[in-house]
Chain A
Amino acid sequence: MSAMLLNKEKWPEFIGKLAGKNLWAPQAEGDAMHFAQVKEGETPGLDFGNTRVPPKKFIFPQTETMYRFQLGGTNIEEPVIDDEVVVLGIRPCDARANKIIEKLFKWDVDDPYFLARQEKVTLIGLTCTEPGLNCFCPSVGGGPASTDGLDILITDLGENYYLEALTNKGEKLLGEAGDLMVEDKGDGAKAKEKLVAAAEKKINRTVDTKGIPEGLPGLWEDPLWKRVSASCLGCGTCTYLCPTCHCFDIQDEIEGFDARRCRMWDSCMFEEYTLHTSGHNPRPTRRERTRNRINHKYNYYVDKFDVIACVGCGRCINLCPVNIDIVEILRQVKEAL
């Protein structure tokens, strides 16, 4: 696989090459960054913190049409998912998250929507040289330059961008812009290595996850769950904005006679999530729901798929309105073990 150097002066031209595709990149919207479609003539930069909403929508949209039908009819029309998408500037943690949830969507029965989107998307990642305040990716198997799930990784070396192709998809895309770049003779790789080591040092938040998956079952009745969930509002922000949260609801939407059955992101932090129609609720309070959220990520998922379902992006910490902090919860779990 090739590794190339792109002088920043050529960046607009590079974007120009991609612009013919369905290109998405982080753009400022109010006080946050969001992935938006790049319009003709626009040149998105790569100088930004991570986006508020994780880019999981490219493979797992917030609302996905499963099929369409006419009200009163019995004919079912499946959507065709064939839009190629190029995502520029996805962070390594978010790309890793896609691979983690792919395990579930491929488990036992293939999920056709997820897999079709996965095939159509090319992910161009960006090395984090300035990790966020609450990033803890190295604690959960990732890192500021992790390549898992990416097709290309870009590292900002100052004067140049350093671009590594990681898959055939990535190689092909780089090839299309080959005339703008020069092959790296090793200096780029070295410079990157230095930057990554420095970035890793800037990550302040850590948790030693050793023993947590095995230990959680024994803490089922521990008083810690009441303590750590006491201020939870049940708003679901932590799960909506989590790149590895993949639970969904299924609903019918009707407009006149046109109807569709769709699935949409859901949250295990909502009371209705597990509420039986009879009124019985197996997870009646926020204590049980918080316990489930942590257990799902750090115990059940590890049991089934051998990987922690948290990539340490820190969004659930940054955006919880009452400052519930998963690293702190995990610290308390360790303490109770």
Chain B
Amino acid sequence: MTTTGNPYIPHLATVEETWYETGGERCIKTFKVVFDEEKVREAWSHRPGQCAMIGVLGEGESMISISCSPTEGKFLRFSVMRMGKVTQALHQLEAGDKMMVRGPYGNSFPIEDWQGKQILTIGGGIGQAPLRPIVEFVKANRDKYAGLTMIYGARTSGDLCFKGEFEEMSKSDDLSCHLTIDVEEEEWEHNVGFVPQMLLDLNPSPENTIAITCGPPIMIRFVLENLKKLGFEDEQIYTTLENRMKCGIGKCGRCNAGNMYVCKDGPVFCYAVLKDIPEAFA
């Protein structure tokens, strides 16, 4: 979406609220932002799975998943891990500060096609960011989906994002939420162990189910293996790729995995397609 005709020009947005999801060196901060211009606000529409280039003038831009569902309202949410130059600069922003946003970019989860099915999300760490819009979308359209099961893990309880929301969810009957951390901690009431193992232990039926997994490459690899063990067909499995990006619109060439530009043809891929793309799991 552009209003000037130049797809590289970002739109001015204001940070309305921020909070930390996690602590430590690579802490994750969430930003709720709203476009300044009414015209931009009205023209903007995104779908679960899409991303945006967000940044600070003079510091650069980074591709970040839009971590809210359009069903939540006319704002955007980004959860950003502090990694390097740009994300460091983003972390300086507080409520009232300005952020530059362009997008939305990439394809999206074919969430309408999944109506009537069981949705199973399997996330690790910051990988829950692109999954959260699915969870919110299904929650908002609960009657259209057979059910929602969520598996989410991180290294420690302090590394889990959106914790409050999930604890809320675990109380509900037809949305089931399963949290796990890598090693034992005092006062931790949920599972201990790696995400792929927890998936096996839960043993979800592949029948009428779509499984979506996002997280570190190594976790994705084992999750895919285990989904196959559980009898999931390639067509029932979705994931996202996160190659390095600069333009977001299929020009800079940087994000290719085989003949796919992840910024255009992805980031969402069905495993049936992805398994034939060389480099996808390199």
A residues near B, CB below 8 A? 66-67, 69, 71-74, 76, 78, 104-105, 107-112, 217, 220, 246-252, 254, 259, 261, 263, 266, 268, 273-278, 280, 282-284, 288, 292, 295-296, 299-300, 303-304
| CB-based contact B253/A246 at 8 Å | yes
Q: How far is the CA of A280 from the CA of B243 in the complex (A)?
A: 10
Taking a contact as CB atoms under 8 Å apart, the answer to whether B57 and A73 are in contact is yes
A276 lies within 8 A of B250 (CB): no
In-complex Cβ contact of B244 among A220, A276, A300 (8 A)? A276
Q: Mark B235-274, 1 if CB is under 8 A from A, else 0.
A: 0000000111011011111101111000010000000000
Cβ B264 vs Cβ A108 within 8 A? yes
Taking a contact as CB atoms closer than 8 A, the residue among A69, A250, A273 that contacts B247 in the complex is: A250
Interface window among B1-9, B140-148, B172-180, B225-233 = B1-9
Q: List 27 A-B contacts (CB under 8 A).
A: A69-B57, A76-B9, A76-B57, A104-B251, A109-B7, A109-B250, A109-B251, A246-B253, A247-B252, A247-B253, A248-B251, A249-B252, A250-B252, A259-B58, A261-B57, A266-B253, A266-B254, A274-B243, A278-B216, A280-B217, A282-B279, A282-B282, A283-B282, A288-B279, A288-B282, A296-B253, A303-B259
- Which residues from chain B contact A280 at a C-beta distance below 8 Å? 217
Q: In the complex, which of the residues A67, A266, A300 contacts B256, with contact meaning CB atoms closer than 8 Å?
A: A300
Does chain A have a CB within 8 A of B84? yes
19 more contacts with CB within 8 A, not counting A249-B246, A261-B57, A295-B259, are A67-B9, A108-B250, A108-B264, A109-B7, A110-B7, A246-B251, A247-B252, A248-B247, A248-B252, A249-B252, A250-B61, A250-B252, A252-B58, A266-B253, A268-B253, A276-B242, A292-B279, A303-B259, A304-B259
Complex Cα gap A4–B253 (Å)? 42
B 147-179 to A, binary, CB cutoff 8 A, 1 in contact else 0: 000000000000000000000000000000000
Give the shortest distance, in Å, between A102 (CB) and chain B (any CB).
12
What's the least CB distance linking B97 to chain A, in Å?
10
Q: Which residues of chain B come closer than 8 Å to A295, judged between CB atoms?
A: 258-259
B276 to chain A, nearest CB (A): 9
Given contacts A277-B83, A278-B83, contact A263 B252 (CB under 8 A): yes
Give the residue among A69, A104, A247 with the most B Cβ atoms within 10 A. A247
* Chain A CB within 8 A of B278 CB: yes
Interface centre among B5, B9, B12, B58 (most CB of A within 10 A): B58
Whether the Cβ atoms of B84 and A277 lie closer than 8 Å is yes
Is there an interface contact between A74 and B249, defined as CB atoms closer than 8 Å?
no
Asked if B256 and A296 make an inter-chain contact with CB atoms under 8 angstroms apart, the answer reads: yes
Q: Is B256 within 8 A of A112, CB to CB?
A: no
A residues in contact with B47, CB < 8 Å: none
Please determine whether B246 and A248 come into contact, CB atoms closer than 8 angstroms. yes
Interface centre among A69, A76, A220, A292 (most CB of B within 10 A): A76
Q: Binding site of B, secondary structure by majority: helix, strand, loop or mixed?
A: loop
Among B98, B246, B250, B259, which residue has its beta carbon within 8 angstroms of that of A299?
Answer: B259
Chain B residues whose CB sits within 8 angstroms of the CB of A261 once the complex forms: 57
Residues of A within 8 A of B84 (CB): 277
Q: How far is the CA of A87 from the CA of B28 in the complex (A)?
A: 51
In the complex, chain B residues whose CB is within 8 Å of the CB of A292: 256, 279
| Complex interface residues of chain B between 19 and 76 (CB less than 8 A to chain A) | 57-61
The complex places the Cα of A259 from the Cα of B279 at a distance, in Å, of 37
Complex CA–CA separation, A249 to B278 (angstroms): 24
Tell me which residues across on chain B come within 8 A of A246, comparing CB atoms. Answer: 251, 253
Complex CA–CA separation, A292 to B264 (angstroms): 19
Nearest A-chain residue to B12, judged by Cβ: A74
The residue on B at minimum CB distance from A105 is B251
B6 proximity list for chain A (CB < 8 A): 78, 112
Chain A residue numbers with a CB within 8 Å of B246 are 248-250, 263
Cβ contact within 8 Å between A217 and B264: no
Report Cα–Cα, A107/B87, bound state, in Å: 30
A111 CB contact (under 8 Å) in B4, B87, B251, B256 = B251
With the chains together, A13 CA to B119 CA distance in Å? 75
Q: Nearest residue in B to A78 (C-beta to C-beta)? A: B6
Closest to A114 in B: B251
| Residue interface mask B82-124, A partner, CB < 8 A = 1 | 0110010000000000101000000000000000000000000
- Using Cβ atoms and an 8 Å threshold, which residues of chain B touch A67? 8-9
Q: Are A66 and B57 within 8 A (Cβ)?
A: no
Hey, which chain B residues are within 8 Å of A78, CB to CB? 4, 6, 9
Please state if A273 and B254 are interface contacts (CB–CB under 8 Å).
Answer: yes
Q: Return the chain A residue nearest B255 by Cβ.
A: A274
CA distance A74 to B100 in the complex (A): 9
Separation of A259 and B83 alpha carbons in the complex (Å): 24
Whether B83 and A69, one on each chain, are in contact in the complex, defined by CB atoms closer than 8 angstroms, is: no
Kindly list the 7 A-B residue pairs having the minimum CB-CB distance in the complex, ordered from nearest: A247-B253, A300-B259, A277-B83, A282-B282, A250-B246, A303-B259, A109-B249
